[in-house]
Structure formats: structure tokens, C-alpha cells
């Protein structure tokens, strides 16, 4: 597989050396995790994981501050840290639209090691060693009235208060929010490209932002109808400034071998 250049600018780090995969059950290698992080992630996230690396100023979406232990993109319940699988997904798939480019060439040994190292920056991971992932409700197959129902759910959930009547992030409360609401018509979404990814974000909320969890607020079928409606609003994906900057950062900071 050809390697893809990248930079973990907004969430986890950048490209790193390949290593042999560990035997099943073998603990992550702490020395490998630290080396991977310091050589390739610290440039954005900082040596101490506080999101203040030398390249952090390049990005509109700031690199994640790992010391807080709060992550927007996760499958766990509100207030819990992400699971290892969540961190793995962010590394391998990236966070579309941000400086976190996909790192799908990473070896299993490096992946496990750098995840373990990132978790040392915040005590929240030790306090919740096995965060519980929320199961997605069974998908409701879309039908001829799905979009109409989804639009009604958007109104019921008062989503327009922040995101606006046309879902462009310009609701009446938007001007008062430090973290601005997402323009739901623009792609790519950080949470992922599918309706299932949208449902997950609706269930978990986005920690550290005004976006709440709708678990227990909307019925399972309503979550899927809303997700299908939001998916129908999508425009053609664009390459963002952060993604361009990430490629520049990797060119400038990738170790020469």
C-alpha cells in the first residue's frame, strides 16, 4: 500500500515509522509510543500534550489539548473519555476538514503504543479505564417521507436555534457562542461521512462544545430521520485550509530518513 502523507494537526499526530505488530495481548510499548508522539505529534499537540505545539498556529481548528481528556469525536456517553477504538478511528480515518489527515498506513504496534501514550496526558483515562460505548439504534430504512420527517425532527429538537433555519450555522444564538455552530450543509463532517456517524454524534453530543446529547430526547427513529435529512443537505466536499496546512506541516516537519 502506498503511504499517504499526512499530519495529525487537530487530533492525534502525524505519520510515523512502521514496526512489527505485537503478539495478541502484548502490552503497548511505552518507549515506542513516546518516540512516535515526540517525533511526529508534538509539533502540533506540544511536548506536554497541551495543544500548543510549534505548528498549532497554522490551524483554524486548534490541535486537541490531550491534558483535558475531552474529545468531541467519540462513541462513549457524555462526560466520558473516548475508547481506544475511538482514538484508533480518529488516527486511521482522520478528522475530515481538519489538520488531522488519515493515517491508514500506521502499523498496529505504533497505533497501540501512541494511543497508550496519549492517554497518559490526562487522569480522566485512568479514572474511567473502560468507558462505555453507546450502541447505535437499528437503522430505519429511508422511505419517501423520510426527509419530511427529518425536517420536522430538526424543528422539534430546536436545532435552528444554533444552526439556523437553513442549517448553515447562523441561528439566533450563534453570535453568542464562543464555538460557532457547524454549517450543516458543508462537507466534510468531522464526525464522519455516513448517516450512522451523524446518529452517533447526536447520541453522544460533542464534549467541550454547546452541542448536547440527544440521547433520551429524540426517539431512535427520529435520530435516523434527522440524520438522513442532514445528509441530504450535503454539498460537494472541499479541501479546507486546515487540510492544506497539514500537508505543509508534514512536508516541513517529517523526519528525513
SS3 for 215? strand
State the chain's maximal CA–CA distance in angstroms.
Answer: 57
Contacts of 212-219 with C-beta under 8 Å, sequence gap 24+, read 213/77, 213/78, 214/157, 215/77, 215/78, 215/134, 217/157, 218/153, 218/156, 218/157
Q: What is the pLDDT of residues 105-114, one digit of tens each?
A: 778 999 999 9
Q: 93 with 102: CB under 8 angstroms?
A: yes
Residue 256 is predicted with a pLDDT of 58
Cβ atoms of 147 and 229 within 8 Å: the answer is yes
**d(C-alpha 32, C-alpha 4), whole Å:** 21
Give the CA distances from residue 196 to residues 80, 132, 133, in Å, rounded to whole numbers and listed in that order.
Answer: 20, 18, 14
Closest CA to 179 of 156, 214, 212: 212
Q: First CA to last CA across the chain, in angstroms? A: 19
Query: How far is the C-alpha of 191 from the C-alpha of 60, rounded, in Å?
Result: 17
pLDDT band at 20 (very low <50, low <70, confident <90, very high): very low
Please tell me whether the overall predicted TM-score, pTM, comes out greater than 0.85 for this model.
Answer: no
pLDDT exceeds 70 at position 37: yes
Residue keyed to cell 502540533: 44
Amino acid at each position: 500500500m502506498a503511504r499517504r502523507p499526512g499530519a495529525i494537526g487537530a487530533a492525534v499526530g502525524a505519520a510515523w515509522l512502521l514496526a512489527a505488530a505485537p503478539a495478541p495481548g502484548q502490552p503497548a510499548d511505552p518507549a515506542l509510543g513516546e518516540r512516535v508522539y515526540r517525533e511526529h505529534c508534538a509539533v502540533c499537540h506540544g511536548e506536554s500534550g497541551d495543544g500548543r505545539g510549534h505548528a498549532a498556529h497554522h490551524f483554524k481548528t486548534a490541535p486537541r489539548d490531550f491534558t483535558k481528556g475531552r474529545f468531541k469525536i467519540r462513541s462513549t456517553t457524555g462526560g466520558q473519555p473516548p475508547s481506544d477504538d475511538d482514538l484508533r478511528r480518529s488516527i486511521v480515518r482522520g478528522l475530515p476538514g481538519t489538520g488531522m489527515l488519515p493515517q491508514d498506513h500506521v502499523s498496529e504496534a505504533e497505533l497501540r503504543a501512541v494511543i497508550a501514550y496519549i492517554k497518559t496526558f490526562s487522569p480522566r483515562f485512568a479514572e474511567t479505564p473502560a468507558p462505555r460505548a453507546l450502541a447505535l439504534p437499528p437503522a430505519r430504512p429511508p422511505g419517501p417521507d423520510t426527509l419530511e420527517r427529518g425536517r420536522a425532527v430538526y424543528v422539534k429538537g430546536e436545532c435552528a436555534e444554533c444552526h439556523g433555519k437553513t442549517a448553515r450555522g447562523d441561528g439566533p444564538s450563534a453570535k453568542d457562542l464562543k464555538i460557532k455552530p457547524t454549517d450543516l450543509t458543508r462537507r466534510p463532517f468531522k464526525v464522519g461521512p455516513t448517516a450512522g456517524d451523524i446518529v452517533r454524534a447526536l447520541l453522544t453530543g460533542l464534549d467541550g462544545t454547546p452541542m448536547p446529547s440527544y440521547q433520551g430526547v429524540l426517539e431512535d427513529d427520529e435520530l435516523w430521520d434527522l440524520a438522513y435529512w442532514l445528509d441530504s443537505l450535503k454539498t460537494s466536499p472541499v479541501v479546507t485550509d486546515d487540510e492544506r496546512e497539514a500537508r505543509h506541516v508534514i512536508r516541513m516537519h517529517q523526519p528525513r530518513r
